[in-house]
Structure 1
Amino acid sequence: MVVLKKILDFYINSSLHVALSAFALVSMTQFFSNIDGGLSVAFFAFFGTVVGYNFVKYDALARLNKNKIKKELKGIVLISFLSSIACFYFFLQLSWVTQTSAFVFLGLTLLYTLPFFPNKQNARNWKGVKIYIVGITWVGVTVLLPLQEAHVAFSYDVFLMSIQRFLLVFSLVLVFEIVDIKFDDPHLQTVPQKIGVKLTKKLGYILLLLLLALEFFYTNNHHFLPLFFKFIVCGTIAIFLFFANENRSRYYASFWLESVPILWWLVLVVF
């Protein structure tokens, strides 16, 4: 069990799990949009997420137990290095338009991590901004890039899909913020820090209901399958929201919650 726990911890800490969620969401976008964008953009999202998240997390890792860092950091650096090579390879497979958009979202990641102005904090530490940058970046990588790579023009339906994905990611991050409320710097002004846990959960429920309601406004008459799957996903996230509290283990959000898009994708693959 100890060995399995170490493997699981490394899998989570090296951002492979969240990267698999990104791969799954890109695949969902392609499936529900009836496009064959190939695997290049999905693998680019996967490896790019590994590199981006590990890059962002280095600062946080530095504040963890030093012995733990020594054991894990070499492996994480190796995975990040190999992922950067793979990310660059799949980046070259994309069209120049998609590549240009990818640079924009890379800029958001850097803005989130690095201070661009002297004596200023990075965007990660700006009050209340973190959740919006995360949401916009995930919309760009998992919705706009695959559609752009498939030469799908921006339309009303694409706008609706982007809003739905933002609401989905926003709701997921709310669970993380509730679980991490004891550890987050009060200066961050996360949603539960500003309005409390109870109101944060109510906000999450409203956003999930709005996500489902938007399904009825598509102009291409979405079929039952997308609504059914989104209902399952929203219901699952609502359950996670309901049981979320500051005493939950790190696996509650970092593993189980982030497994929701993966399970959604696997069900479609199987059936």
Structure 2
Amino acid sequence: MTFLKRLLDFYINSSIHVSLAVYALVRMTGYLFSIDAIEAPAMFAFFGTIVGYNFVKYDALARRHKLQIRTELKLIAALSFLSFLATGYFFFQLEHRTKIIALTFLILTMLYTLPFFPNRKNARNWAGVKIYIVALCWVGVTLFLPVINAGIPIGSEVLLVAVQRFILIFVLILIFEIIDLQVDDPNLKTVPQQIGVEKTKIVGSILLFVFMLLGFFQIEFNFAILFSRLALVLLAFLFLMFADERKSKYYSSFWVESIPVFWLILLLVFS
């Protein structure tokens, strides 16, 4: 059991799991907009997320050497390097216009991590900003990148899905912020820190209702989409309602991050 737990921890800590969630949302975009050439954007997003998330999480450790580098961190560094090579490979398979979008979100990731100006904190520590930057990056990578790569015009349908995708990621991050309430720096001014856990759950519930409501305005609409979206909203709602500071890290880092994967599986099964 110890070995399995260490394996699960490595799977989560190395950002493979969150990258799988990003991959699932890119494939979801491919389904919604009937994009056949979805593999290159999906794999670019998958490996790029491993690189980006590990850079964000372990940047300070790598640059300042404040802690002794354990075996797990060495393995994560090796995985990140291989993922960086894979990201580069799939980057060159993207269309030229898509590469510009990809570089834009790379800059956002760097802004999120590194202090660009003297005596300034990075964007990750800007009060109240973190949740919006993360949600925006997810929307950009999982929706706009594959759509633009396929040459699909950014019309009302794409923008509608973008709002939905932003709402979904926003709500999932709210769950993380509730779980991390006791360990987050008070200066971050996360949503639960500012309005409390109960009001955060109310806000999240309203947003999930809006997410579901917006789905009825989409052109592409069938039983599989309706059923999978209902299941997604119900699942996210339950995780939101039962979230509290006493939950283990697996509640958010594994189960909540599994929601996009679960959504895609349901959609494919009932299509």
- Asked if these proteins are the same fold (TM beyond 0.5), I'd say yes
Indicate yes or no: 2:13 matched with 1:3: no
- Give the C-alpha shift of residue 149 in structure 1: 1.1
Indicate yes or no: 2:243 matched with 1:244: yes
Q: Is the 8 A contact 1:52 1:109 kept in 2?
A: yes
- Give the C-alpha shift of residue 35 in structure 1: 1.8
What is the TM-score when the length of structure 2 is the normalising length?
Answer: 0.95
Measured in 2, the distance between the counterparts of 1:78 and 1:52 equals 14
1:56 is matched by which residue type in structure 2?
V
2:149 is matched by which residue type in structure 1?
E
What secondary structure is seen at the aligned counterpart in 2 of 1:258? helix
Match of 2:108 in 1: 108
What secondary structure is seen at the aligned counterpart in 2 of 1:93? coil
Measured in 1, the distance between the counterparts of 2:236 and 2:33 equals 23
Which consecutive residues of structure 1, in runs of 5 or more, have no partner in the other structure?
none
Q: Is the 8 A contact 1:179 1:244 kept in 2?
A: yes
Sort the Cα spacing of 1:92 and 1:26 in 2 relative to 1 into closer, same or farther, 3 A. same
Measured in 2, the distance between the counterparts of 1:60 and 1:214 equals 40
Query: Aligned residues, how many?
Result: 268
1:10 is matched by which residue type in structure 2?
F
Indicate yes or no: 2:107 matched with 1:117: no
Match of 1:253 in 2: 252
The percent of aligned pairs where both chains have the same amino acid is 54
Q: Deviations over 1:130-152 (max 9, x none)?
A: 00000000000000011111111
Map 1:8-19 to 2 at 5 A: 8-19=8-19
Map 1:7-156 to 2 at 5 A: 7-59=7-59, 66=67, 69-156=69-156
Measured in 2, the distance between the counterparts of 1:70 and 1:217 equals 51
Measured in 1, the distance between the counterparts of 2:143 and 2:162 equals 6
Measured in 1, the distance between the counterparts of 2:204 and 2:77 equals 35
What secondary structure is seen at the aligned counterpart in 2 of 1:217? coil
Q: Deviations over 1:88-118 (max 9, x none)?
A: 0000000000000111111110110001100
What secondary structure is seen at the aligned counterpart in 2 of 1:30? helix
Q: Is the 8 A contact 2:139 2:162 kept in 1?
A: yes
Q: Is the 8 A contact 1:37 1:147 kept in 2?
A: no
- Give the C-alpha shift of residue 260 in structure 1: 1.0
Coordinate RMSD, CA, aligned: 1.6
Which consecutive residues of structure 2, in runs of 5 or more, have no partner in the other structure?
none
Q: Deviations over 1:18-51 (max 9, x none)?
A: 0000000000111122221230000000000000
- Give the C-alpha shift of residue 262 in structure 1: 1.1
Measured in 2, the distance between the counterparts of 1:140 and 1:123 equals 17
Q: Deviations over 1:54-83 (max 9, x none)?
A: 0000147689x956x512110000000000
- Give the C-alpha shift of residue 266 in structure 1: 2.5
Measured in 1, the distance between the counterparts of 2:112 and 2:233 equals 27
Q: Is the 8 A contact 2:225 2:267 kept in 1?
A: no
Match of 2:200 in 1: 200
What is the TM-score when the length of structure 1 is the normalising length?
Answer: 0.95
- Give the C-alpha shift of residue 268 in structure 1: 3.5
